Amino acid sequence: MNTNYLLPNKYKSIGWILFTIGIISGLFSYFIPMEKEPIQTKVLSILNNFAAGPNEMEYFKIIEAGIGFELILLSIIIGGLIVGFTREKIEDEFTYKLRNDSLVWAIILNYLVLIVLVLFVHSFTFIYVMTLNILTPLIFFILRFNFIQLRHRSHEE
Contact positions vs another protein (CB under 8 A): 88-90, 92-95, 97, 149, 152-153, 155-157
From the CB of 72, what's the least distance to another protein, in Å?
Answer: 33
Burial group, residue 19, by CB count within 10 angstroms (0-12, 13-18, 19+)? buried
Closest by CA to 96, choosing from 109, 85, 106, is 85
| Spatial separation of the C-alpha atoms in residues 90 and 100, rounded to whole Å | 16
Nearer to another protein, 10 or 155 (CB): 155
From the CB of 97, what's the least distance to another protein, in Å?
Answer: 7
Going by C-beta distance under 8 Å and a sequence separation of 6 or more, which residues neighbour residue 44? 60, 61, 62
From the CB of 71, what's the least distance to another protein, in Å?
Answer: 35
Closest by CA to 135, choosing from 53, 92, 73, 65, is 73
The SS3 of residue 62 is strand
Nearer to another protein, 35 or 156 (CB): 156
Nearer to another protein, 17 or 148 (CB): 148
Nearer to another protein, 56 or 101 (CB): 101
From the CB of 92, what's the least distance to another protein, in Å?
Answer: 4
What are the start-end ranges of the E strands in the chain? 40-48, 58-66
